[in-house]
Structure formats: C-alpha cells, structure tokens
Amino acid sequence: MNPKNILSELKRRNVYRAAVAYGVVAWFLTQLTTQVFPFFEIPNYAVRFVVVALAVGFPIAMLLSWLYEFTPEGVVRTEDLDPAQARSAQRATGRILEFVIIGVLLLVIALLIVGRLPFYRQAGESISRKSIAVLPFENFSPDKENAFFADGVQDDILTSLAQIGSLKVISRSSVMQFRDVASRNLREIGKILGVANVLEGSVRREGPRIVVNVQLIDALHGQHVWASHYDRTLANSLGLQGELAAEIADALRVTLSPEEKARVEKKPTLNPEAYLVYLEANQIERNPDTLLGDFKKAEQLYLQAIALDANFALAHARLASTCAQVFHFYEPTESWKTKARGEADTALRLQPNLAEAYVALGQYTYWIDGDYDRALQEFEQALRLSPNNADVGGLIAAIRRRQGRWQEALEAFERSQTINPLDPNIARNIVFTNTALRRWPEASRAAERMRAMAPASLVAKVQSGYVDFWWKGDTKLLKSLLDQVPPDVDPDGVITGVRWDVAMLQRDYAAARNVLQTSSLSEISYTNAGLTPKIFLEGCISLAQGDTANAQKALEVARPVFEASMKEAPGSADRHANLGWLYSFMGRKDDAIREGQRAVELRPESKDAFDGAIMNCYLALIYARVGQKDLAIQLIERLLKTPGAVDSVDYSITISDLKYRWEWDPLRDDPRFQRLLAGNAP
C-alpha cells in the first residue's frame, strides 16, 4: 500500500485528531491526579496506575479511531458506512474532537494558572517556591550509636544550603520534631514550616563505607522533584554536603553565584576521622538545653578533631563559639576568653570566607568584649556569607535587647519565629523578652509553645513554671513540671536547684533539706556564672529558719569558694554580685555593699539593660539584708517598673518574689514595703 494513501486515510478517519485529543486529555488527567491525589492522601501507586493505564490505552484508542465513526445512530464501523455517510460522520467526529481539544486546552491553561498561584502556610502567608526544609535523616546503620552521624549529615547539608542567598532554608531546630518518618505528612509540614519543598534522607554507615539516599519532594503536590543515591567510602564522602546542596539548588532552578558555588563545594576537612569526631561534637552542642556539661564535652571533641587536622577551620570556629558560650553562660574566666578569641582568629586565617568564623568572632565581641557595634558588623558579615544562618538573627535581636530596645528586640525574635516557627531557642528568647517586660500572658503562651517544641527540654519546663509563679504567685505548675523529670535526670544539678527553690518558696524547710540530701553533687547550678556550693544552700535554710549559728557555720564553709570564684574572674559582675549576696547573709555589711556596688559598676544598665537590671536586683537584696531599708525600698520601687529585672532565681524583683521569698523578710513589716505589695498585686 502506498504510504501516502495510509497517511491520507489516517487523516480522513480523524486518527491524528484522536491522537492529539488523547494526548491532551492524558496529560491533563496526569497533572490532575498528581495534584489532587496527595491532597486526599491517596497513595502514590494510584498515580502510577493512572499513568500506566493512559499509556496502555493510547494504542487501543488509536485502533478504535481507525475502526469506528460517530454517527447519529451511534458508533458504527467505518466499513459499514457508504462513502457519503462516511465523509459526513468523519466531519462530525472531527468537529467533536476539535471541541474536546480546545476544551481540554482551556482546562490545562487554568491548571497552569492555579499551579502558579502562591502556596500558603497555616498562618496565611504565601510560601516561596524556592524554600526548603531538611528533615531529620533516618539512621540505618547497624550501630545505633551512629545516630549522630545521620544528624551530622543533615546538619552539614543545612549549613551548605544556608549559604545560598536565593533559597529560604529552615533551621535545624525547627525540623527536629519531625524525626518520626511514619507520622510525617509532608503537605502539613510544608504549611507549618512555610516551605514548598522538603528533603528526606537516610544514612547507613558500616565501617569505612556510607550509603546516603536523599529525595527532594514538592510539599504542595507530594511529587518527587529529585532523588539520588550515594555509596562511598567515608574519605570520598567529605564533600558530599556541597554536592547535594548544588544538586538541590539546580533541581529548584536556583542559580549559584561563583562565590556561593565555591563555598558550598568547599570540603570541611580531608581527614575522615577528624570529620567523625567533629560531627559528634556538633550534635552534642546542639542539644535543646545549654548545659555546661554538654559544652565541655563538645569542647574536648572539637579539640580531638583539631588534633587530627590542624587546618580544620570549621572545627576551630565551632570550638570558638563553644568557648564563648561557656564564658558567657557559666565560667567568665580568662582561659575561656583567650581560647575563644584564638580559635576564632585561627578559623578566619584558615578560611577567610567562613560564616561560622564570623559568628564566633561576633559572639566573642558581643559577650566578652561587650562591643555591640563591632559584634553587629561581624554578624552582618556572617549573614552575607550564609544568608539563612538561623543563629545570627537571634544574636542581633539579643544585642538590641541589651541596648534597651525592648520592643525592637521582641519584634526581631518574633520575625525569626515566623521564619523558623518550631525553633525552641527562638521561643525561649521570646519567653525571656516578654518576661523582662512583665508581659505575663504573652510570656506564658510563649513558654507553653516552647514546651511543645522541645518536650524533653529542662529549660522549657523550668522557665514555664517560673513565669506562672511570677504572674500568679503560685508554684503548682512549676512543681508539676518538675515532677515530670525522671529522678536520674539532673545535669549540673539544675533540677536539684529548682526543687530546692520551690520548697523554699513554700517555706517547707524540711523538704528543702531533703532535696539537698538526696543529691550526690557537692555543687549545683543555681546562680549565674558558675556552680553553687551545696553547703551555701544548706546555710540559707538555717538562716530562713532563724538558726543563725548553724547558718554562719555553713556560709563560712562556702565563703572561700565564692571568693576564689570572684578572684578567678574579677571582671565578672555576676561573681561580684554572688559574693556580695553571700556577705549579706553573713552580716558583713560593708563587704556586701562593696561587692554589690562593684557588680553594678561592671554591668551598668546604661551598658546592658538586660543583665544590668539584675545586678541592681542583687544590690537591692543586699541592702535589704544588711539593714539599709531606705536604699532597698527606693531601689525596689524603681526596679518594679524597670524592664529586665526578672530572672529564674531569687534575685528577681517581681511582686510574687517580694511576697513569698524568705530573703525579703527583713523588709516584711515595713509599711512602705507593704504598700508596694498592695499597690502592685500580680
């Protein structure tokens, strides 16, 4: 048969039109099912079935279009029609097929328009198509101790993606609650986190080999965007996070600048053993609670990593940050100061474009030098190198808070929470800021959110309970939250300190003694800038009971510890305040006032609105204990109206603290003190 005759016959019988109509309808149905089925949580195999059925149906449809025609009497075989009827039926069939094609094309156009509409998160804001959350990776390693490795791979990918300015990347802290793969609903996760895409993965490590599987998923439609499999030796996988970041960017149609490409593809180290130790340190340091024991363990591991590779710039930078945090939160000594600065400088020398090095230098300049302007410059440079770095925004907001720009700081933290809605560290700062402003309902709601984000966090429980006490003068919530903590969980003695404090607030001195007796620790976390000797708290119980003789014996034992602590860090306002506090309980009036005033001089409110107010709270308590009632009441009256004069132990100035704490008993009968309480009921 002449091929031209075949082509003419195909055209005459509308096979071409049928093919076009079938193709358009098939494409429309494929797009429709891939978008609608995930919405109703219909399994992916149903979508695959539709695609296969449409492919199988194509040759069948073409055969039917060759054999049959539409007529007023119905579907009739073409061979059964006379030529005139056949031509009329074929024209009618052609028109029907043309209408079908036009109609479906209009639906396709509508679908494309809908597909380009913004994706909205739960709060109502539109979601950028170039946004991503990297969910916790599954650990398929036989040794479950390798869980830190899976978390480390996830964190490294996040760190690399954070350096891409055109992407919005959700912080690690916001995604950790989605660790349970079986319960993940990717569409809901996308809406909650405000991202259009999620990356899932698994890691299997056996000896020197690792296997990593990753898949990038469109959270809106439940579609696989891209997937990859890597089977390598550990040594050959050291640049894997950069490769993944570049491939993910390409899948999301994000163009990397040459600088970004160079940064994400930079291998952190060429030593696989150093990399393993680094990953373990990094995961310990990222626990939800900033505990001294965790920091010191991480410090030792970073040092091991650096011993294995002295040129490991990222390890130097992380070590610098760790040292700065230990100095700021726990031990403000010269050794931590020197190490923090030295490691930050080393990291920058080894890798001048390392964002984490600028973060560490900013933390040093902020927390240790107290140079806010210079610290802000370092943080801005870190953001230029890593625009999605979740830590920097919080640090900048914290500086605004210390500058007394309270509302600006609160708004900055709230903006950060909008970007990373499930980050407990941001929630904690919102709690602290609202607490400092005495916005009790807002602080309580923020604390409740923090507990929901980090149910294992001790800080979340403790802070939430104290907010309720400051607001309502009631320790029931604090006590109930402490009861949820297992008996064997007491890092740094922090739970012992809070349980003791609750008993003292309730004037249950027998319970307070029992709390201390059941703890095997000789020092516990109670005051700032260091651990507190347990004997000091025993002396406080005796003093509250009016047993001055035994109180003085216990406090005398504690005195050398407080004095040595101050001499170790003479520039620490907290340690001078703690020593003045001790002296006031011992009745050493002049020494107590000297130390309290020195603390205020070192940390004035004009320089530090956050901690400066706390130093004046110490001073007010010292005045009250040594008989300087006029000075104490005058200072209390001002501090009740001063933002920042609230912390989680007994040197806060709130109405509830003044009402219930034994330390303020020397003022209890003073009419001026009573008027303060009556005029500012919680």
pLDDT tens for 77-130 read: 555 444 554 555 445 555 555 555 566 555 555 555 555 545 554 444 567 888
Q: Per residue in 151-200, pLDDT tens? A: 888 888 888 888 888 888 888 888 888 888 878 888 888 888 889 899 99
The Cα–Cα gap between 394 and 359 comes to 12
pLDDT over threshold 90, residue 648 = no
641-657 b/e (C-beta count within 10 Å ≥ 16 → b): ebbbbbbbbbbbbbbbb
Find out whether 592 and 622 touch, Cβ atoms under 8 Å. yes
Average pLDDT of the residues in 637-661: 87
DSSP H or E segment with residue 68? strand 68-71
Average pLDDT over the chain, rounded to an integer: 85
d(CA 638, CA 414): 28
Tell me the per-residue pLDDT of 196-253, one tens digit each, with 9 for 90 and over: 899 998 888 887 888 889 999 888 777 788 888 888 888 888 888 888 888 888 888 8
**Tens of pLDDT, residues 436-485:** 999 999 999 999 999 998 888 888 999 999 999 999 999 999 999 999 99
DSSP structure class, residue 367: I
In order of their start, the domains of the chain are 3-117 (no CATH), 126-267 (3.40.50.10610), 274-449 (1.25.40.10), 462-679 (1.25.40.10)
Region at 141 (left for phi over 0; alpha for psi -120 to 50; beta for the rest): beta
pLDDT-derived band at 2 (thresholds 50, 70, 90) equals very low
Residue 76 CB-density burial (10 A; 0-12 exposed, 13-18 middle, 19+ buried): middle
pLDDT tens digit string along 388-444?
888 898 999 999 999 999 999 999 998 888 878 888 888 999 999 999 999 999 999
- Distance, in Å, from the CA atom of 215 to the CA atom of 201, rounded to the nearest integer, reads 6
Instruction: Provide the CB-side half-sphere exposure for 524 (13 A, CA).
Output: 23
Q: Which two tokens stand for residue 142?
A: 């036989």
Q: What angle do CA 28, 34, 37 make, to 5 degrees?
A: 115
Can you give the pLDDT at residue 682?
A: 41
User: In this predicted model, which residue has the larger pLDDT, 488 or 624?
Assistant: 624
Alpha carbon distance 318, 359 (integer Å)? 9
Type and span of the H or E element at 95:
helix 83-116
pLDDT at 566 over 70: yes
Q: Is residue 632 pLDDT above 70, yes or no? A: yes
- Structure confidence at residue 443 (pLDDT): 95
The rounded percent of the chain whose pLDDT value lies above 90 is: 49
Least confident of 40-54, 212-226, 342-356: 40-54
What φ, ψ does residue 69 adopt, rounded to 5°? -130, 150
Cα torsion 595, 599, 604, 605: sign: negative
Q: What is the DSSP letter of 255?
A: P
At residue 71, does pLDDT exceed 60?
Answer: no
Contact between 343 and 361 under an 8 Å Cβ cutoff? The reply is no
Of 338, 340, 281, the C-alpha closest to 305 is 281
**Residue 364 above 90 pLDDT?**
yes
pLDDT interval class at 15 (50, 70, 90): low
Secondary structure string (H, E, C) spanning 543-583: HHCCCHHHHHHHHHHHHHHHHHHHHHCCCCHHHHHHHHHHH
Instruction: Characterize the bridge pairing of strands 68-71 and 74-77.
Output: antiparallel
Residue 465 backbone dihedrals phi, psi, to 5 degrees: -65, -40
Write down how long the chain is: 682
CA proximity to 621, closest of 607, 605, 600, 643: 600
Flag whether pLDDT at 681 surpasses 50: no
Q: What are phi and psi of 440, to 5 degrees?
A: -65, -45
Task: Please tell me the distance from the alpha carbon of residue 396 to that of residue 455, in angstroms, as a whole number.
Answer: 27
Joined tokens for residue 511: 């319970």
Q: What is the mean pLDDT of residues 139-150?
A: 77
Determine the Cα–Cα distance for residues 572 and 594; give it in Å rounded to an integer: 14
Within its chain, how far is the Cα of 320 from the centroid? 20
pLDDT in tens, 636-647: 999 999 998 887
Give the range among 43-47, 299-303, 391-395, 550-554 with minimum mean pLDDT. Answer: 43-47
* pLDDT above 70 (res 660): yes
Which three-class secondary structure state does DSSP give residue 520?
A: coil
**pLDDT reported for residue 167:** 86
The pLDDT value given to residue 74: 46
What integer pLDDT is reported at residue 1 of this predicted model? 45
Which is higher by pLDDT, 284 or 96? 284
Q: What percent of the chain has pLDDT over 70?
A: 82
Residue appearing with tokens 């909205």: 120
Picking from 76-85, 313-322, 367-376, 650-659, which range would have the lowest pLDDT averaged per residue? 76-85
- Residues 6+ away with beta carbon under 8 Å from 649: 497, 501, 526, 527
Q: In whole angstroms, give the CA distance from residue 479 to residue 78.
A: 87
208 or 304, which is more confident: 304
Q: Are 331 and 367 contacting, i.e. CB atoms less than 8 angstroms apart?
A: no
